[in-house]
Amino acid sequence: MSRFLQSDTIPTAMNEAFLKQILDSIADGVFTVDLDGRITSFNRSAEKITGFSRGEAIGQHCFDIFRTDICQSGCPLNESMKSGRQIVDQPATILTKDGRELPISISTAVLLDESGKILGGAETFRDLSAVEELRRELRDKYSFGDIVSKNKRIQEILAILPDVAESTSTVLIEGPSGSGKELFARAMHDLGPRKDRPYVKVNCSALPETLLESELFGYRKGAFTDARTDKPGRFEVADGGSLFLDEIGDLAPSLQVKLLRVLQEKAFEPLGSSETLEVDVRVIAATNRNLADLVARGEFREDLYYRLNVVRIELPPLSERREDIPLLVDHFVRRFNALTGKDIRGLSREALGLLVRHDFPGNVRELENAIEHAFVLCRGRTIEPRHMPPEITRDQAASSVVRTDTLQDAEAQALRDALERAGGNRERAARDLGIHRVTLWRKMKRHGLA
C-alpha cells in the first residue's frame, strides 16, 4: 500500500476526491505527512482505528495523533524519510483517543514527486487485536504447562499424559538432548497423586560411578573416610514422590543391578549399612540413547530395560516439528520479557525465517538459548537477524536451496497433520492452522494435496 502512495504511481489527472475515495475504501489505516512530520491525509480506517477524526488529525504532528510506543525510540516513518528505505510490518502498540492500547503492524515508505524529490512520507497500519486474540487462543490450545506444541506426535503424548500421571508405573522417556524430556517428567509428577510429595532429579552421566552410588542410595557415618555423618540418598529423599533419572543409558553396570533391585523390591541398603530401607518412589527415566540398541550390544541389562520400559514415550527432535517453532518462540519471548523486564514484541519476519530454516541439533534447548541470546543484544522492540547467534545466521545463503526444500516439506506435513486432525474438513483444518480456508486450498494445491 505504501508503494501505491508514491506520487510517480498516481496519474496526474487523478483528482484529490478520487484518491480520497480509494484510500477510504482500504481496510488498513493510511496517513501521509509532510517533511515537518505534519499529517496531510488521514483515511477512514485511520479514523476508525485511532478514534481521531480526519479534521482532528490533519495539520497535527504525527506523534500527537498516532501515539505509538516506538514514537520516541525509533519512528519507522522518520527512518523511511531519512533513508528512503521501506519498512514492512513492524509491530507496535498504539494508544487510541479513548486511551485503549491496540496492537498494530506498521509499514512505511517515502513520498516522491515526479523528479524524485522527497515530499514526505506515507504510513499504513493494521489493527492486530483480532490476530492477537487468535494467538492467545492458539497458545491456550497448544500449551500444557511449559510444554508448547501443535505437532501431532506431541499432541498424542499429551492426550495420554494424564492417564500416565495417575499410574504408578515406571516411565521411560526417549528423545534427543534438548527435546524437553524433563518437562514431560515434571508434568507427569504435577498431574499425578504425588504432586504434593518430593520431585527429585538425578543426572546419571554427571557423576562418576562411586559418587553416583552414594548420591542415589546415601551412606551411613563411617562408610568411607569422609563420611562423618549420615547422608540420605535421592531414593530416600524422594520417598512418597517421584525420582527423575536423566541419562539412564549412561548408568554403570554395577549400578544397573542395584537400580533393578530397587524397582523390583522397593528396597535398598545405604552404603555402610546392613539396614534395608523400603521406599515408595515412582521412577521416571530418560535417555538420549536407544536403550534397545544398548541391550543388543550388551551395554545395558535386558531385565532392567524391561523393568523401565513399562510406559515408553518417544519425543521427536525439533527438526521434525518445525511447525512448533513460532509457538515456542512466542513462549520464550514472553518468558524472557518477564525475566528481564524488557518489552520485546516478537521477531521480524526475517529473524523468524532464520529459525524456521535452522536444523537445531540442540533442539528446543538450542532455540531457547537463541532467544535468550537475542534478548541480550536487542535494545528495541523487535528481534532482528543481527541479534541471532552466529550458528543460526552462519552459512544461511550457501544452503538456501536445501533449507527451502526442508521448509516446504515441513509446511506440507503441517497441512497433512491439520487435515488429518480435522477429518479432512478443510474449514476446520484452516481454523486449526490460523489461516483462511482459501489460503489452505492454495497451499494444498501447491503441495499436491488437493
CB 252 within 8 A of CB 265: no
In the predicted structure, residue 223 carries a pLDDT above the cut 70: no
Domain count, the chain: 4
In the predicted structure, residue 117 carries a pLDDT above the cut 80: yes
Model confidence over 241-298: pLDDT tens digits?
999 999 999 999 999 999 999 999 999 988 888 889 999 999 999 999 999 999 999 9
Q: Are residues 222 and 298 in the same domain?
A: yes
Q: Are residues 267 and 388 in the same domain?
A: no
In a domain, 176, yes or no: yes
Strand stretches in 96-209, DSSP E = 101-112, 118-127, 143-144, 147-148, 171-174, 199-203
Q: Are residues 193 and 213 in the same domain?
A: yes
Model confidence over 1-46: pLDDT tens digits?
444 444 444 444 445 666 777 787 888 899 999 998 899 999 999 9
Model confidence over 238-255: pLDDT tens digits?
999 999 999 999 999 999
Cell of 345: 514484541
Q: Are residues 21 and 99 in the same domain?
A: yes
> Which of 114-118, 299-303, 415-419, 442-446 is most confident?
299-303
Q: Can you tell me the mean pLDDT for 68-96?
A: 83
Q: Are residues 326 and 291 in the same domain?
A: no
Domain of 15, in residue numbers: 7-127
Question: Where residue 406 sits, what CATH number does that domain have?
Answer: 1.10.10.60
pLDDT of residue 82: 86
Question: Where residue 186 sits, what CATH number does that domain have?
Answer: 3.40.50.300
pLDDT of residue 12: 46
**What CA–CA distances, in Å, run from 260 to 33, 148, 215, 282, 444?**
76, 34, 16, 13, 51
Q: Which of 116-125, 302-311, 356-365 has the lowest mean pLDDT?
A: 116-125
In a domain, 97, yes or no: yes
| Rounded CA Rg of the chain | 29
Model confidence over 164-177: pLDDT tens digits?
999 999 999 999 99
